[in-house]
Amino acid sequence: MNIISICVAAIVTSVLAVLLKKHNAEYSLILTVCCVTLILMYLISSVVFAVSGIEDIFANSSIDITYMETLLKCVGICFVTEFTCDCCKDASQNALSSVVLMSGRICVLITAFPLFKEFLSLSLDLTGGGG
Amino acid sequence: MDVDMIFKIAAVGIIVAVLNQLLIRSGREDQALLTTIAGLVVALMMIINEISDLFDTIKQVFGF
């Protein structure tokens, strides 16, 4: 994970984007989105081994594997939503970015709902208040 | 990290800007618009492949 190459790419892209903004703004937007995509792709390719490490830890521990899958799915949803939201904000489309943000939150809520249910039932059992 | 994609899109943008000015100065505004739209389609095609690769990777890594 070479942070220097990421910073250089970002600076070069922002300079090129400013250059292109004067004549035709749509190209500077496309350029920025392209550079963000490249950096995210580079980021994910270096995160992959961390994810498999987490899976190994969860595999030999007693914790159920579905919790970890839900957790990873929520992280993925946040990843995609953040990317899209910032790209829309970059194109000064604040309405689009806020609706994407809201749908991302709801998606995470729906994905994590079984976890909440399980947690509530567990806590009710512990406190002995359950039916 | 293939940064040549960034420079390709920047090159398309600059060439289209120059062509645009050229066509406008020589009195062909409609062709200038067509050139801009054509350049935009080329750049969009390039970036759409890149974004689809990113989303496929995310889907595969985070188990969608």
Is A127 found in the same domain as A70? yes
Task: Note whether A50 and A75 are same-domain residues.
Answer: no
> Do A42 and A69 reside in the same domain of the chain?
no
Burial (0-12, 13-18, 19+ Cβ within 10 Å), A89: middle
The reply to whether A32 and A56 lie within a common domain is: yes
Number of domains in chain B: 1
Same domain, A88 and A51: no
Q: Is the distance from CB of A18 to CB of B11 less than 8 angstroms? A: no
CA distance to A34, A74, A93, per residue, from A99 (Å): 22, 18, 10
A96 touches chain B (CB under 8 A): no
Whether residues A124 and A75 fall in one domain: yes
For A13, the closest chain B residue by CA position comes to B6
Single residue among A38, A61, A84 that ends a domain in this structure: A61
Sorted by sequence, the CB contacts under 8 Å of residue B56 that are 6+ apart come out as none
Domain ranges, residue B50: 3-62
Judge whether A20 and A27 are in contact, CB under 8 Å: yes
ipTM: 0.87
Give tens-digit pLDDT for A19-60: 999 888 889 999 999 999 999 999 988 888 888 888 888 788
Q: Domains in chain A: how many in total?
A: 2
pLDDT given for residue A63 in this prediction? 74
CB distance from A5 to chain B under 8 Å? yes
Residue B3 has its nearest CB partner, among A9, A19, A44, at A9
